[in-house]
Amino acid sequence: MKLKYIIENDKTSINQILQSKLNISSRLLFKLIKNNKIFLNGKTVDTRQTANKGDYLIIDFEYEEDNSNIIPTKMNLEIIYEDDWLLIVNKPAGIAIHPSILHYSDSLCNGIRFYFDSINLKKKIRPVNRLDLNTSGLVIFAKCEYIQESLISQMKNSTFKKEYLAICNGIFENYSGTINLPIARKENSIIERCISENGQSSITHYEVLKEFDNYSLVKCSLETGRTHQIRVHMSAINHPLIGDTLYGSISDFIHRQALHCYRLCFIHPISKKLMNFCSDLPLDFKNLV
């Protein structure tokens, strides 16, 4: 897990390369310097120095991290993709991503910790994207802090694409559109969100893929990533997700909100290649569509 960079110009500041060319945050840079993990032509270097064309930097991310805050729990993980830098799994509905009081040892992070132990990877557990407890679909785990920072940066500048499939109540008047309504935490609630002029900017693009007697299969693309964004937005236009008891009502067809993160698209921080991943529909979706 080492990143190599060839210097392109003479008398180039190493700090400038690390921060401007490789986009390493000040926080991570401090950690790398403190642990002597930056090398110029094979030797530990003072990053205040300059380098010349043809020199090469190596940034070593293979140092061990304490991940004892998460209990390892054996799980049957559906791994979609893995390399030295990241891991993508297909999360079933009913599993929380992060440990909590209610899910102290049975969250997805617990399963990833067990898997990391099995491959002797002593790293913190870093989920990049978040899904609600009862939302299924693709989740990325970064194997080091640099990958996590890089992918979060892509999310902020919209390079990172997330697409969901939702089954919504009713038939849409328009087969495609954009919902641009700000979302805020609902007063006196730690869970529920609502549309509010004081909320954060929230943008969802949608496209109706298929219609049924009284519900629709809809593709949703997120321009922002607010908590419960699709659920709140669809409810706001009177097409709440079926099975969504928080923003809609219970359903005879599915026992959770009908939402699945089926596609992720991003630039790999190391190879710079476009990565595009899709997952199959879960069984409770397939039974409906």
Which active-site residues does the annotation give?
132
Q: List strands edge to edge, sheet with 56-60.
A: 2-6, 56-60, 38-40, 43-44
The residues, ordered by sequence, that sit 6+ positions from 91 with a Cβ below 8 Å of its Cβ are: 97, 108, 131, 135, 136, 137, 138, 139
Instruction: Write 241-246 long-range contacts (CB < 8 A, 24+).
Output: 241/166, 241/167, 241/168, 241/169, 242/167, 242/168, 242/169, 242/215, 246/191, 246/192
Neighbours of 150 (CB within 10 A): 25
- Which helix (H) or strand (E) segment holds residue 240: the answer is none
Distance between CA atoms of 80 and 90, rounded to whole angstroms?
Answer: 7
Q: Is the Cβ–Cβ distance between 98 and 109 less than 8 Å?
A: yes
Amino acid at 193: R
Phi and psi at residue 132, in whole multiples of 5°?
Answer: -65, 160
- Residue linked to tokens 């997700």: 241
| SS3 of residue 99 by DSSP | coil
Torsion-angle region of residue 105: left (phi > 0), alpha (psi -120 to 50) or beta?
A: alpha
